[in-house]
A and B are shown apart, each in its own frame.
Chain A
Amino acid sequence: AQSVTQLDSQVPVFEEAPVELRCNYSSSVSVYLFWYVQYPNQGLQLLLKYLSGSTLVKGINGFEAEFNKSQTSFHLRKPSVHISDTAEYFCAVSDPGAGTALIFGKGTTLSVSS
């Protein structure tokens, strides 16, 4: 079964500093990879996704992630964070196919302070 490990449960960072949120997945076969953001008491919003092709994926709000098959990683990065980026971030994996659910990591709380 697929699994996702988010290596950091909490990441505190100062405003305008760069940030990396780490994610590793278990499967070495073809996978889809996603990063979602969740603000308090809200649903999930897609930041970016990797399905195939270029390993560097750019998403919304200035975030990007790089798919590394050899290391089975999909780390999320942003060169300069804002206070408004404070939220919970979830990495997720699924097998290709319409009927498959996403399996989520435990989440990383990003706290941006001034």
Chain B
Amino acid sequence: GAVVSQHPSRVICKSGTSVKIECRSLDFQATTMFWYRQFPKKSLMLMATSNEGSKATYEQGVEKDKFLINHASLTLSTLTVTSAHPEDSSFYICSARPGTSGGTGELFFGEGSRLTVL
């Protein structure tokens, strides 16, 4: 099946620094990738839709200046948490769907990245 890889899987940073998380589709091209955030014991909240070659589409309430998304190629999207604060600590998960059509509809998920801001 399709594989989506995230890196790093865990990152600890100091408050005020920026952290970049990479999401790669290893064996397929994805014009669209999705970034989710998961709080402890909570569901996945869609943060934004990452579109290759264009600006990301952010969900209501998500600060686009805080969470910078870049989709530079058909296999790579990055999420940068800028000037991170402890409340940004969370589990961030990316996902992608192979193909340019609806296809199987299935989203493939990365392994997730746990961010801890001290």
Contacts and interface: CB of A to CB of B under 8 A. Distances in A.
A102 B43 CA distance: 12
Contacts, number: 66
Nearest to A46: B106
B97 interface: yes
A49 B105 contact: yes
Interface in A97-114: 97-99, 101-107, 109
Interface residues of B, number: 30
Interface in B15-46: 31-32, 34, 36, 41-44, 46
A94 interface: yes
Interface of B, secondary structure class, is loop
Given A99-B32, A99-B49, A101-B49, A94 B43 contact: no
A43 B109 contact: yes
A107 B97 contact: no
A51 B49 contact: no
16 contacts: A32-B102, A32-B105, A34-B105, A41-B91, A41-B114, A42-B112, A43-B110, A44-B44, A44-B109, A46-B106, A97-B102, A98-B97, A98-B102, A99-B49, A101-B34, A107-B43
